[in-house]
Amino acid sequence: MKRSILSTVIAGLIVSGSAIAYEGKPATAVTEAANASVQASLPFSDKTDFDEATRGFIADLQEGQIVRDDGKPAYSMEDFRFLKGDAPTTANPSLWRQSVLNANSGLFEVTEGVYQVRSWDLANISFIRGTSGWIVIDPLTSTETSAAAIKLLREKVEDLPVSAVILTHSHGDHFGGVKGIVTQEQIDSGDVEVIAPVHFFEESVNENLMAGNQMSRRASYMYGNLLPKSPTGTLGSGLGTTTSAGEFTIVEPTIEISKTPTSLTVDGIDMEFMYTPGAEAPAELMFYIPRFKALMQAEEINKTQHNLYTLRGAKVRSGLDWSKYIQQTIEQYGDEVEISFGSHHWPTWGNERIVDFWEGQRDTYRYIHDETLRLANKGMTMLEVAEAVKLPESLSSGFANRGYYGSVSHNAKAQYQLYYGWFSGNPAELHELPPVEEGRKFIEYMGGADNVIEKARVDFARGEYRWVATALNHVVFAEPENTEAKELLADSLEQMGYQAESGPWRNFYLSGARELRTGVMSAVTPNTSSPDIIKSLSLETYLDYLGVRLNHPEAAKTELAFNVVMPDVNEKFMMKVENGVLNYTMSKQMEEPQATITLDRDILDAINLRQISTEDAIRGGEIRIKGEKARVDEFIALLDVFPFWFNIVTP
């Protein structure tokens, strides 16, 4: 997937009632024509995906939602029931088609002995009938959804215990619900083995923690969490519907996969594992099951073009590496495979169809990677490359290669960034003004905001929404109270959202339009700091994050030096603040610190889980300070608390 621990949970936020009441404006004639053009350009008459997305259906939850202990919904299938029939004029028909397919929910038989529950969360949970029990693959985001899935499996297929868990990769929608299907005691006793790629646990706990607040806020746009689920709101993410909003957990693997191939027998089922790090996730694996001639493709192969860069913000992925993993899969299993199923979407059956599907996915990532570098080496800038790269019709006509989640445009930019970074080489772009200052000069040169708005209205009527958005963004940053500019900018973003084939693009455009019209809305959110995650963080990770939170300009005015002792975990370290940065050394103590701080690791966890404040812990004696307490207070005061609901489309 595509997102951090924090943003995974944020992506499942429970939106307040005001979000449901919000409805957008109608599609313009220009948007209707653009969407009609898409309808005419793709093979919509091919219903194979619809047959495969419903093949093997067994049952769904009649109540239409999964509820948490507090009575609030962890996930609602009913929210996506509007997705049926032909696309409305307010939706790209290609994205609508994908969203209709993604909304098929329930328990499905893939083949005898292999089952999936789909669309009860962003991802799929899969089950393999082993000799003694169920082998569970990727137990979703929340314990509530995974527990409901295995309950339905036991009711409708066979009531067996869990014998093993396979976690394909280090994104939260594939492991967060693990304690809904297995307990830590079952793992510790050896009754249940947990298989994952090497570095799964570290990557899952730490990924994007340093940048988590910014990513999580942007994830609220990317996944449409502030939008109604409707023909003028979010249709889902293209990769699936949306994440659940329940209890988020994690366990450590008992078996780690670190090379290709690795052969294991898991509860009587022979499996051949492939280690595929650094493409879709930092730690990932796929595996082949000879008995079923089936590949579990994880998230390396999907019914959409995936992200080489995710719009919430993350490290760029290599399309070259991604394509090579798929090529290795084709070389190893292409002659015999009969079933290909994954962590998202619906399976594919039949050797010829599967190999064609795999080759299309392989060549999509390779084409974008190679063509980006070819054009860049001819002197084109990132924006020029993104505009120029177009998939050949042999790829773009395949629905599985369409940009429902990633897009050719932002994936091409990602490959440019991977090799060349943010700078185009043009010195005029080396030290540009920030948005507010740039906006003020822009409207000054254009003869004032009224003049820009007047010209923008003409261009809006022509359907030139991209330029209207560019021009009016300058006005809004120069004059954030200019209601007329904000309304017209919102209208432009909205029409681009209606035309977008990518689910995240649609969600970004429509979320921006809503925020321009109604302001920043503080929605109700779940607790983003899961106890399992907090307690799994290493002390080094804690300290690195404290270094990020340090107010560096203010910290540069002082020097601080502390010893820290944690008796319950037999840990000690020293840390210093100087030159505006925090440095630390583990397992050492300085001779003359300003203060020595003694606290148990459990207290540090409780503080991070907001179960106790630092001040209360000091007052209650859980934190003991020997030396200059005022210096410790000074350090605490230097730690920033990041606001979540910061502005995105206004200064």
Residue for token digits 């995105």? 648
CA separation, residue 322 to residues 38, 181, 326 (Å): 28, 31, 7
- Provide the token pair at 4: 């951090």
Sheet holding 294-296, edge to edge: 262-266, 269-275, 285-289, 294-296, 339-341, 348-349
pLDDT of residue 438: 97
Helix, strand and coil in the chain, % to nearest 5: 40, 15, 40
Q: Which residues are within 8 A (CB) of 60 and not within 5 positions of it... i.e. 6 or more apart?
A: 77, 105, 106, 107
DSSP code per residue over 214-226: HHHHHHHHHTTTT
pLDDT of residue 246: 92
pLDDT of residue 562: 97
- Provide the token pair at 453: 């708005």
pLDDT of residue 19: 46
pLDDT of residue 530: 73
Separation between Cα atoms, residue 478 and residue 471, nearest integer Å: 11
Q: Which residues are within 8 A (CB) of 47 and not within 5 positions of it... i.e. 6 or more apart?
A: none
pLDDT of residue 533: 80
Residue among 331, 289, 357 at smallest CA distance from 111: 289
Say which CATH class 5-396 falls into: alpha beta
Fold match between 5-396 and 538-637?
no
Separation between Cα atoms, residue 195 and residue 135, nearest integer Å: 10
pLDDT, averaged per 10 consecutive residues of the chain (651 residues), comes to 40 40 91 98 97 98 94 95 97 98 98 98 98 98 97 98 98 95 97 97 80 86 93 97 93 97 98 97 97 98 97 93 98 98 98 98 98 98 98 98 98 98 95 97 97 98 98 98 98 98 98 96 56 85 91 97 96 97 97 97 88 92 96 94 91 95
Residue for token digits 């404040």? 613
Residue among 463, 321, 349 at smallest CA distance from 29: 463
Break the chain into its structural domains and give their ranges.
Answer: 5-396, 538-637
pLDDT of residue 12: 40
Separation between Cα atoms, residue 331 and residue 148, nearest integer Å: 38
175 touches 146 (CB < 8 A): no
Separation between Cα atoms, residue 579 and residue 516, nearest integer Å: 40
**Whole-number CA gyration radius for the chain:** 26
- Provide the token pair at 109: 């038989």
Note the residue count of the chain: 651
pTM of the entire structure? 0.94
218 touches 313 (CB < 8 A): yes
Structure confidence by residue, pLDDT tens digits, 473-529: 999 999 999 999 999 999 999 999 999 999 999 999 999 999 999 999 776 444 445
- Cα dihedral angle (503, 504, 508, 511), rounded to 10 degrees? 60
pLDDT of residue 44: 97
Architecture of domain 538-637: 2-Layer Sandwich (3.30)
DSSP code per residue over 528-590: SS-HHHHHH--HHHHHHHHHHHB-HHHHTT--EEEEEEEGGGTEEEEEEEETTEEEEEET---
Burial (0-12, 13-18, 19+ Cβ within 10 Å), 614: middle
Residue among 48, 129, 98 at smallest CA distance from 502: 98
Separation between Cα atoms, residue 200 and residue 207, nearest integer Å: 10
pLDDT of residue 6: 41
Angle at 376 between CA 372 and CA 377, to 5 degrees: 120
Separation between Cα atoms, residue 182 and residue 332, nearest integer Å: 33
